[in-house]
Amino acid sequence: MKKTVKILVAILVFFVAIPLLAGFATTALWNHILTSACGFSIINLWQGVGIFILGQILSGGFILGCFFAVGSIHHIMGHPRGKLKHHWHNMTDEERKAFIERRATLGFRHKHQKDGNAAE
């Protein structure tokens, strides 16, 4: 239950709250600066949100930058870093081969791997 709440909060913050607040700021700046300085027409909140989202897409984005600064969405959701690495080092050789074979069936193959055989 806690994990579901964390996921919902993260989705609301990163995909609803931040764009709305940035859209409000974009709208306010546009309407106060560009209408008087350049003669552009006044925009509404949803147009400001659209300009913000377009800016995010074209520039690589602040929202994605937040994920990189914090670590990743997995780190936010409570998966500590290095857990897979620790798990991998505690596997036996048979468990590692089985893991590699399972990943190969999902399409994750190492570039030196041929026909599902693990690179030695």
Which of 70 and 97 is assigned the larger pLDDT?
97
Banded model confidence at residue 73, pLDDT cuts 50, 70, 90:
low
pLDDT at 120: 46
Q: 29 in helix, strand or coil?
A: helix
For residues 106-120, give the mean pLDDT: 58
Please state the pTM of the whole predicted model: 0.51
What span, in angstroms and rounded, lies between the C-alpha atoms of 68 and 76?
11
Asked if residue 51 has pLDDT above 80, the reply is: yes
Which DSSP letter does residue 115 get?
A: T
Mean pLDDT along residues 34-57: 92
SS3 114: strand
- Name the residue type at position 119: A
Report for 1-15, 35-49, 63-77: range of highest mean pLDDT: 35-49
Higher per-residue confidence, 61 vs 40: 40
Question: Which residue would you say has higher pLDDT here, 9 or 25?
Answer: 25
The gap between the terminal CA atoms of the chain, to the nearest Å, is 42
